[in-house]
Amino acid sequence: MSVVLQWCMRRILALLPRHHILMETRPISSPQPLLQPGDKRPRLESPLPPKRGKKKKKTPVESGSSEDVISREVVALLGKEVVDKAEADGNEWESPFGFREEVELTVSSISSSGEGLALAPSSKGAWVVVVPFVLPGEVIRARIYRQAKMYSFADLISLEVSNSELRDMNRVKCKYFGTCAGCQYQMLSYETQLNLKRNVVVKAYQNYSNLPESGIPAIQPTIPSPLQYGYRTKITPHFEPPPKKVQKQGPSTSEEGKPPWLKIGFNQTGRRVVMDIEECPIATPVLNETYAPMRDNIAKEIYKYKKGVSLLLRDSLEIPGGNSPTATTQLGDKDNHVCITDHKATVRERVGDLLFDYQAGSFFQNNNSVLGPLTSYVRDAIFPPATSDPPSTTPPPPPTHLVDAYCGAGLFALTLAAHFTKVAGIELSADSIRFATHNAELNGLAHKVSFRAGDAAQIFDAVGDFPPERTALVVDPPRKGCDEAFVRQLLAFRAQTVVYVSCNVHTQARDVGQIVSWSAEETAVGGEGKGKYVLESLRGFDLFPQTAHVESVAVLRLVS
């Protein structure tokens, strides 16, 4: 091939959109695609490298984001002095690896996102490689596909030496595991998963709280999920429309069933490319029962779609006359489970003896089996059991009032309402507040629970009659955590007990560190009467078994 022709081919490939690039040459439906020792992964076509001559724009990283978390863990692995020197020399973005270069590595640790971290060979200098589906101590071969600050991302090619103490591929229950981005830990025992998640909480408070070691209590064992498979009550498969060439040609007369180019499912790990997935073993049974015929219907109607679609399947109790079911599974004597696929339809869940209705497209925890233990834990944190030993100081009186910030459909406000005289909840979403108010009426609690729509930072304006010394505050914010305005208002109010529930332990650690340190600073400069917060306990909850995700509950108490 001539030099000119080679140049032209490279330019054509560089102009192709990413979703047209072939990402995987083997059939993704083959069972247990993750490698066994000695196996070699078929060649992957990695994303194209950036054009030469243009430097990557280095945008600020948001605190507590996945990029920020892995960056801090890379610093911890390399050592701060090493990274500081690289920054001083201006080569922290200069990877020692070429695009698609293959390298043999020994995995050092697992990141908080469930990926393996491996030091580059000594000949490459101080650098880290991030590889999915590998475990500490394993020797692997990997192929580099993207560079970042002081680290590179790589695909797993082969597993040369396995960690036989941790890895057992017989535990894997999904034929897409190792390619699908949804799960990271199916090859591990559940006990190991819980231990890893406890370690995520430990690292988060080391890296983000800015608290001294003496100010962080011993991290308690992670609370397990009653279900490790078949627990997820919401899935969102997606698919792309027919390629433009296919749209112009129309369906082939010989084409039967689902076209080979149609992929309905979830993203491949590390890529924005849809895998064709027929079922998800962590989803509840009724979702999988609905998903199969839904896939068939999409295949029949695919030529009508001009844009990509993100589907919604949500497990719900049947509401008589209230949510048109698409499939039904009988569980027990009283509850029929149905699958809701309309974003605006109403979903119903039972938590303990209470019922919760909410709009299908809105937020609600996606593992119903663990909501009983979670809400009970929050209750016990607010009302700790009395100890047999006489206290050294007189304990404060138990709280009589509850404030539920970021209350959503009212999960904590309503499950805890029986223990309080008065409860107030606030949420930015007006639709969520409408359902929360409905749920208070549905469960006969409207006489003591009220909800309002608005910014959580303004919630304390609505509870001016709540005595702070008899008030408990539950905080359950989105992944970005609380802003400074909310923390300042929290400190001005000074509730006796604060229980911070979080889906992002890293932003939780940051916020808790601010609450503790700022309250101590205020007390030190003349606010002795207000008291300061101490972090009393910290514990993870496993809302998503088989994945690296961990929920966290921090309990803060006001002390004089």
75: tokens are 């610093």
Angle at alpha carbon of residue 147, lines to 141 and 150, rounded to 5°: 95
Cα separation, 174 vs 279, in Å, equals 9
Helix (H) / strand (E) element for 349: namely strand 346-351
Q: Count the neighbouring beta carbons within 10 Å of the beta carbon of residue 336.
A: 16
Helix (H) / strand (E) element for 359: namely strand 354-359
Indicate the pLDDT class of residue 8, thresholds 50, 70 and 90.
Answer: very low
Binding positions for S-adenosyl-L-methionine: 365, 406, 427, 476
Of 174, 183, 280, 503, which is the active-site residue?
503
Cα separation, 433 vs 452, in Å, equals 6
**Cβ-proximal residues to 168 (8 Å cutoff; 6+ apart), any chain:** 187, 188, 189
Question: What does the pLDDT read at residue 174?
Answer: 97
pLDDT digits (tens, 9 = 90+) for 89-131: 999 999 999 999 999 999 999 999 999 999 999 999 999 999 9
Cα separation, 191 vs 224, in Å, equals 9
Angle at alpha carbon of residue 508, lines to 505 and 510, rounded to 5°: 115
Q: Which domains does the chain have, with CATH numbers?
A: 28-44+63-172 (2.40.50.140), 200-221+370-385+396-559 (3.40.50.150), 237-311 (no CATH)
3-state secondary structure 438-497: HHHHHCCCCCCEEEEECCHHHHHHCCCCCCHHHEEEEECCCCCCCCHHHHHHHHHHCCCE
Calculate Rg over the CA atoms of the chain.
Answer: 26
- Amino acid letter, residue 543: L
What angle do the packed helices 505-524 and 484-493 form, to 10 degrees?
50
Beta-sheet pairing, 471-475 with 401-405: parallel
- Distances from the Cα of 40 to the Cα of 37, 44, 93, 165, angstroms: 9, 11, 30, 21
pLDDT digits (tens, 9 = 90+) for 144-193: 999 999 999 999 999 999 999 999 999 999 999 999 999 999 999 999 99
Residue 503 appears among annotated catalytic residues: yes
Q: Count the neighbouring beta carbons within 10 Å of the beta carbon of residue 420.
A: 21
Question: What does the pLDDT read at residue 381?
Answer: 96
Maximum Cα interatomic distance, the chain, rounded to a whole number of Å: 89
133: left (phi over 0), alpha (psi -120 to 50) or beta: left
Of 382, 389, 433, nearest to 407 by C-alpha is: 433
In DSSP notation, 355-392 reads EEEEETTS---SBGGGHHHHHHHHHHHHSPPPPSSPPS
- Residues 54-79: what's their mean pLDDT? 84
Lowest mean pLDDT among 19-33, 262-276, 295-309: 19-33
Say if CB 462 and CB 501 are below 8 A apart: no
- Residues 193-200: what's their mean pLDDT? 98
Say if CB 261 and CB 394 are below 8 A apart: no
Question: What does the pLDDT read at residue 203?
Answer: 96
Cα separation, 334 vs 311, in Å, equals 29
Question: What does the pLDDT read at residue 392?
Answer: 61
- Amino acid letter, residue 26: R
pLDDT digits (tens, 9 = 90+) for 348-378: 999 999 999 999 999 999 999 999 999 999 9
Q: Count the neighbouring beta carbons within 10 Å of the beta carbon of residue 101.
A: 15
pLDDT digits (tens, 9 = 90+) for 405-438: 999 999 999 999 999 999 999 988 888 999 999 9
Is the pLDDT assigned to residue 47 strictly greater than 70? Answer: no
- As a whole-number percent, the residues of the chain with pLDDT over 90 amount to 72
Question: What does the pLDDT read at residue 449?
Answer: 96
Binding positions: 365, 406, 427, 476
Beta-sheet pairing, 346-351 with 354-359: antiparallel
